[in-house]
Every structure is written in C-alpha cells, then in structure tokens.
C-alpha cells in the first residue's frame, strides 16, 4: 500500500476552510461518489479494540427530515438546506458488553481470530470494561461507544473539508424524544442503539461572517 503524500499546508488549509455551516446552498447536491467517500472514512475510522460501535443513517427523505425538526432545535435550517443529513448512532450496553453476541461475532467472523486469541482478547476486553475504565453501567457503556463514534464524525468532517465540502455537527436535539422518533419512524432498535450526533453535509450558502477563533497554540500544548 502506498504511503499517503498530502502536503501539510493543504491539510491545514482544509481545517481553516472547515466551519460549522449554519445554512447550505440547497441548489447544490453532493454526488453519490462524494457522499460515499465521506461515509467510507467513517467505515475506516479507528475505534477502541476495533469494535466499530456505530451505525450511520443518511436521511434524504423530506418527510423524515420534517419529523426530525421538532426534536432537534439545532437542525431545522440544515434539514432544509443540506445536501445530505446523517444521524450518528452508537451501540448501547447489550451490544458492546464484553460477553455480547455482537462482540463474539466481531472476533469470530469479522476479525476471524483463532479460538485461543479470542479467549485472550475477551479477557483483556472484560478487564478493560470492569477494571480499567469502570464501565459498570449502561450509561457509561453508551458514553464510551459515543466516544468512538465521534472519531468517525471528526474523520468525516475532515475528509469533507479536504475535498471542498462543508459540514455542520449537531448536538442540539432532545435525546429521549429523538430516540423515540427513531424507534417509531426510522425502524431503529433503541435498546441497542442511541443517538450521539447529527451532521449535515453540502456546500455553504455564504462564507462565514467571522474568521476562525482559537486559543493560542501555546496555551493548549504542554511539553515535558
């Protein structure tokens, strides 16, 4: 496999280009190739133990977008104008607990590990949950899954920016009401999956009014 050779300046330019786009140009639609590229970067994202505790729903149906508006106060303008709107779901305790069927399937069928390695891997994962990270409640396990899913979110937005595509991550929603809607209208098993974020993709309607503001680099990095 060839080593990527992307200029550092081009990467920093993409990070400066990226901003939380409040309104998209509704006349500009991403191609299937463009959105699939973005989603593929989620698919290739790293996750703790490589267990990929996520699922992504691309909401293109206008009626479903309308249903999301009352439960997502941060999303209405994006739902109206974004080319593509994605829901980031994270697995709940029944899926990611060390002895779940999902974890067993990942080890046996996806990673295709031999039985002795699976036994060792399972032991490490159990100790990680019960001792190292103290993931002893359903909420803690879901929060841990969400941490992994946010890695995929960051990679999707970066990949979009590198190719001149805008995005906006959204946490402005009522989680309980949103998940009830996902269960009733989107066919999501909310015993297994919870909503971590929403994210919109498309092309900005206008450039941001203000430049990017960040704390000084020296204030966020300490060398020892």
pLDDT score of 1 more than 80: no
| Whether pLDDT at 133 is above 90 | yes
Q: What is the 3-state secondary structure (H, E, C) of the chain?
A: CCCCCCCHHHHHHHHHHCCECCCECCCCCCCHHHHHHHHHHHHCCCCHHHCCCEEEEECCCHHHHHHHHHHCCCCHHHHHHCCEEEEEEEECHHHHCCCCHHHHHHHHHHCCCCHHHHHHHHHHHHHHHHHHCCCCCHHHHHHHHHHHHHHHHHHHHHHHHHCCCEEEEECCCCHHHHHHHHHHHCCCCCCCEEEEEEEEEECECCCCCCCCCCCCHHHHCCCC
Q: What's the mean pLDDT in 83-94?
A: 98
Is pLDDT of 211 > 90?
no
Query: pTM to 2 decimals?
Result: 0.96
């Amino acid at each position: 496999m060839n080593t990527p050779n992307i200029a550092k300046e081009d990467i920093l330019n993409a990070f400066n280009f990226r901003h939380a786009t409040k309104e998209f140009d509704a006349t500009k639609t991403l191609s299937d190739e463009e959105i699939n590229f973005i989603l593929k970067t989620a698919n290739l994202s790293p996750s703790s133990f490589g267990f990929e505790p996520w699922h992504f729903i691309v909401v293109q149906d206008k009626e479903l977008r309308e249903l999301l508006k009352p439960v997502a106060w941060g999303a209405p303008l994006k739902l109206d104008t974004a080319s593509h709107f994605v829901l980031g779901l994270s697995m709940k305790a029944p899926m990611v607990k060390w002895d779940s069927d999902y974890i067993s399937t990942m080890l046996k069928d996806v990673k295709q590990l031999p039985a002795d390695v699976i036994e060792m891997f399972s032991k490490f994962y159990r100790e990680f949950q019960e001792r190292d990270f103290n993931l002893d409640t359903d909420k803690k396990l879901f929060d841990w899954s969400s941490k992994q899913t946010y890695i995929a979110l960051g990679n999707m937005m970066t990949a979009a920016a590198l190719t001149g595509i805008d995005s906006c991550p959204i946490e402005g929603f009522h989680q309980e009401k949103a998940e009830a809607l996902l269960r009733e209208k989107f066919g999501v098993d909310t015993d297994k999956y919870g909503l971590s974020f929403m994210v919109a993709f498309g092309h900005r309607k206008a450039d941001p009014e203000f430049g990017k503001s960040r704390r000084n680099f020296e204030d966020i990095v300490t060398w020892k």
